[in-house]
Amino acid sequence: MKRHKKKIGFVVNPIAGMGGRVGLKGIDGEEILQKARELGAEPLAPIRAIETLEVLREVKDVIQIITYPSEMGEVEVKQCDLNPIVIGAINQGRTTAIDTKKAIEDMMKMNVKIILFVGGDGTVRDISEVTGINIPVLGVPAGVKIHSAVFAVDPRAAARIVIKFLWEGLPLREVEIMDVDEEAFRKGHVSAKLHGYALAPYEPSLIQGSKIGSLIIEDEVRNQVAIAIFVNEMMKPNIVYILGPGTTTRTITDLLDEKKTLLGVDLLVNKKIIAKDVNENLILEAITGKKSWIIVTPIGGQGFIFGRGNQQISPTVIREVGLKNLTVIATKHKLRGLKNLRVDTGNSALDNKLRGYMPVIVDYREEHIVNVK
């Protein structure tokens, strides 16, 4: 008897995430995409796609992947020997949101059980305009902006969610589709807007939550100041400190009368900012041959210390700095809202080395030990 295969729609946004390591905070628009390429940005989505598909190979005999041509999924699916059905047509090397929407329309006509996509908030925004809440969607995180609650915590988790959904019947829930104004984002302002809803499988240990902003209340500000005082006391001369984005890290420099960018990665030496809003290459130029240290704070509601909004601090940068030269800071309120911390650097071997129990500075001379997953 011929076994009935479950159909999975699979689409890749081939340019998703290219702005991250070069410090552009997204690539919406042809001009920004061209700038990213000029800065040496390399595609991230194909790598993330392959990581996901390698796990799906475990069930290759009972699934049928429906995908779009060339860089929109065909290349990666065939590379992983998953024998896709390739539909549609594209202008290779010049795909747009229109191609993404057409791909979803075509896949829905083929009665796929779920849409699995590789991209960021912009990608799911386009997809949800077609799907509404009529078919489950799941994101493999590959963009710079990952605010929506439709993404798995990493590529392998995405594959596991799909398998669980198809054979164990995970529940579905409506989730918000959020996207930010990239122009405002580059100027240091987060202007997130609700663009609609999507239907997504719910597996709380493998799905990331929506990003939650920092509280602006007296207790929270006092806590940030106490952390900043402690960190400033710990700083040593002639070390290049790499400060990740966030209000808690910015408070460190506020106390030094230095103006850090809120959403960028800045460099600090001898308690003076030497470079603002740096990309991966500028960080590497500054730290090569010198002792360096990374200071980051987790994203509220999600817990990521690497891989969301700070892709400039790349696996190459982290290895150059050294895993021991890392400080994580978080207010008590933020930490209470997190079950654990997470990493998704884009390199699974490095992620595994970062996982385990890690001290987090939560107040003046006070640390909590937190599990990193």
Give the 3-state DSSP-derived string for 242-261, with helices as H, strands as E and coil as C.
EECCCHHHHHHHHCCCCCCC
Encode burial over 211-245: b for 16+ CB neighbours within 10 A, e otherwise. beebbeeeebeebbbbbbbbbeeebeeebbbbbbb
pLDDT range class, residue 34, cuts 50, 70, 90: low
Residue 96's CB is within 10 A of a number of other CB atoms, namely 13
What pLDDT does 186 receive? 46
Q: For helices 247-254 and 218-234, give the axis angle rounded to 10 degrees.
A: 60
Segment 28-57 mean pLDDT: 77
Tokens of 19: 């702005």
Residue 153 and residue 176: Cα distance in Å, rounded? 16
Helix (H) or strand (E) holding 275: strand 272-275
pLDDT in tens, 358-367: 999 999 999 9
Calculated CA dihedral for residues 152, 158, 162, 163, nearest 10 degrees = -130
pLDDT in tens, 226-255: 999 999 999 999 999 999 999 999 999 999
pLDDT range class, residue 330, cuts 50, 70, 90: very high
> Which domains, ranges and CATH numbers included, belong to the chain?
6-201 (3.40.50.10330), 218-372 (3.40.50)
- HSE value, Cβ hemisphere, 13 Å, CA-based, for 132: 1
pLDDT in tens, 74-106: 999 999 999 999 999 999 888 999 999 999 999
pLDDT of residue 355 exceeding 70, the answer is yes
* 3-state SS assignment for residue 137: strand
What pLDDT does 349 receive? 94
Tell me the average pLDDT of the chain. 89
Closest CA to 48 of 153, 148, 131: 153
- Nearest 5°: the CA angle 226, 248, 28 is 175
pLDDT of residue 23 exceeding 60, the answer is no
